[in-house]
């Protein structure tokens, strides 16, 4: 891992990051799904039934996933506990449920993915490494950019006082609301259908901000909505097609950034769908 730190004004001059060989995320293409003939409607209905006999509801399958993450470098005990509590298979298509606890990104529709468990764990572990609310072992009030299927929001909810999660694609927003309402206590996560590049000013400032999509820059709105003592973690495009995790800490003097390992995330877009 390489890291560079210095006070900086924004927009950030994001220079080229050295190659580390580590890739925490992946963006597989969503497989083409031809329309099913009407006479196969029964088979389609059967596909919606959760698979049985896979042991996906047991704590053992999540424990094995987390043990692999620990071997890969995950150290934060609070993050480990949060990853153990959230059933990842509840956030993927039932046809992909058997792959839910593999360390891979999976398609969730609309050209989006659920991030690999190692990507989620690493970004949250970086968030926990800052000051402010993290000194109490909590992320405080969190702004998440890109709700997707809701999995990362569910993990963040285990470590925060509240999560505000913004999603620009309405079907994903609606699907995440349905899943999270049955898994979390009311108020733990507030979902917003909006343009993530604008953040969410009504609930600012935020102790922690995390983005699940890669932009060409760090939007000014995110920086302005980050509390003093807060930390932001986001993938940012570097030279060529390379992406890297960028960490920004805000203090009374301004912003300090550091560049971490290379990653691969879906692109950050503006507007609503």
Structure-token pair, residue 261: 């390992």
Domain-located, residue 164? yes
- Asked if residue 243 lies in contact with residue 263, where contact means CB atoms within 8 angstroms, the answer is yes
The average confidence (pLDDT) of the chain is: 84
Domain-located, residue 60? yes
- Asked if residue 60 lies in contact with residue 140, where contact means CB atoms within 8 angstroms, the answer is no
Domain around 180: 6-263
The percent of residues above 70 in pLDDT, for the chain, comes to 77
Can you give the pLDDT at residue 57?
A: 74
Can you give the pLDDT at residue 246?
A: 98
Can you give the pLDDT at residue 106?
A: 97
Q: What is the DSSP string of 79-98?
A: HHHHHHHS-GGGGS-GGGGG
Domain-located, residue 131? yes
- Asked if residue 222 lies in contact with residue 213, where contact means CB atoms within 8 angstroms, the answer is no
Answer with the residue of higher pLDDT: 30 or 227.
227
Average pLDDT over residues 175-198: 96
Q: What is the dihedral of CA 89, 90, 91, 95, to 10 degrees?
A: 60
Look at strands 162-167 and 141-145 and give their pairing.
parallel
Domain-located, residue 272? no
Whether 189 has a pLDDT exceeding 60, the answer reads: yes
CB atoms within 10 A of CB 68: 15
The one catalytic residue in 115, 119, 165, 208 is 115
Enumerate helices (H) and strands (E) in the chain, giving the number of each: 7, 10
Q: Is 208 a catalytic residue?
A: no
Answer with the residue of higher pLDDT: 272 or 20.
272
How confident is the model over 115-162, as pLDDT tens digits?
A: 999 999 999 999 998 665 555 568 999 999 999 999 999 999 999 999
* Residues 121-138 as b or e (16 or more Cβ within 10 Å = b): bbbbbbbbebebbbeeeb
Residue 61 neighbours by CB under 8 Å, 6+ apart: 55, 101
- Asked if residue 133 lies in contact with residue 208, where contact means CB atoms within 8 angstroms, the answer is yes
Domain-located, residue 1? no
Number of independent structural domains in the chain: 1
Question: What is the pLDDT confidence band of residue 239, given thresholds at 50, 70 and 90?
Answer: confident
How confident is the model over 14-68, as pLDDT tens digits?
A: 444 444 444 444 444 444 444 444 444 444 443 444 444 456 777 899 999 999 9
Nearest to 96 by CA among 148, 24, 47: 47
Domain-located, residue 123? yes
Domain-located, residue 140? yes
Domain-located, residue 273? no
Structure-token pair, residue 2: 């390489």
How confident is the model over 169-180, as pLDDT tens digits?
A: 999 999 999 999
- Asked if residue 218 lies in contact with residue 12, where contact means CB atoms within 8 angstroms, the answer is yes
CATH code assigned at 197: 3.40.50.150
How confident is the model over 104-115, as pLDDT tens digits?
A: 999 999 999 999
Let me know the angle formed at the C-alpha of 159 by 108 and 62, rounded to the nearest 5 degrees.
55
Query: Residue 27 burial by CB count (10 A; 0-12/13-18/19+): exposed, middle or buried?
Result: middle
């Amino acid at each position: 891992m390489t890291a560079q730190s210095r006070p900086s004004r924004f927009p950030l001059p994001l220079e080229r990051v050295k190659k580390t060989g580590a890739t925490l995320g992946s963006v597989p293409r969503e497989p083409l799904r031809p329309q099913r003939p009407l006479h196969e409607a029964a088979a389609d209905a059967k596909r919606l039934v959760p698979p049985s006999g896979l042991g996906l509801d047991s704590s053992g399958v999540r424990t094995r996933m987390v043990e692999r993450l620990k071997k890969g470098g995950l150290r934060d005990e609070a993050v480990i506990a949060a990853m153990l509590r959230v059933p990842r298979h509840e956030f993927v298509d039932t046809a992909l449920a058997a792959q839910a606890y593999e360390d891979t990104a999976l398609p969730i529709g609309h050209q989006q993915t659920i991030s690999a468990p190692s990507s989620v764990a690493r970004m949250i572990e970086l968030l926990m490494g800052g000051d402010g609310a993290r000194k109490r072992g909590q992320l405080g009030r969190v702004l998440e950019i890109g709700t997707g299927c809701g999995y990362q929001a569910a993990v963040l909810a285990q470590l925060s006082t509240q999560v505000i999660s913004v999603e620009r694609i309405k079907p994903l927003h609606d699907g995440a609301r349905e899943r999270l309402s049955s898994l979390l206590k009311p108020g733990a996560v507030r979902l917003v259908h909006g343009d993530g590049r604008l953040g969410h000013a009504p609930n600012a400032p935020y102790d922690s901000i995390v983005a699940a999509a890669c932009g060409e820059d760090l939007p000014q709105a995110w920086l302005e909505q980050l509390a003093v003592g807060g930390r932001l973690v986001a993938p940012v495009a570097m030279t060529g097609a390379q992406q890297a995790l960028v960490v920004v800490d805000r203090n009374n003097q301004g912003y300090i950034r550091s560049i971490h390992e290379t990653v691969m995330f879906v692109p950050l877009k503006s507007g609503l769908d």
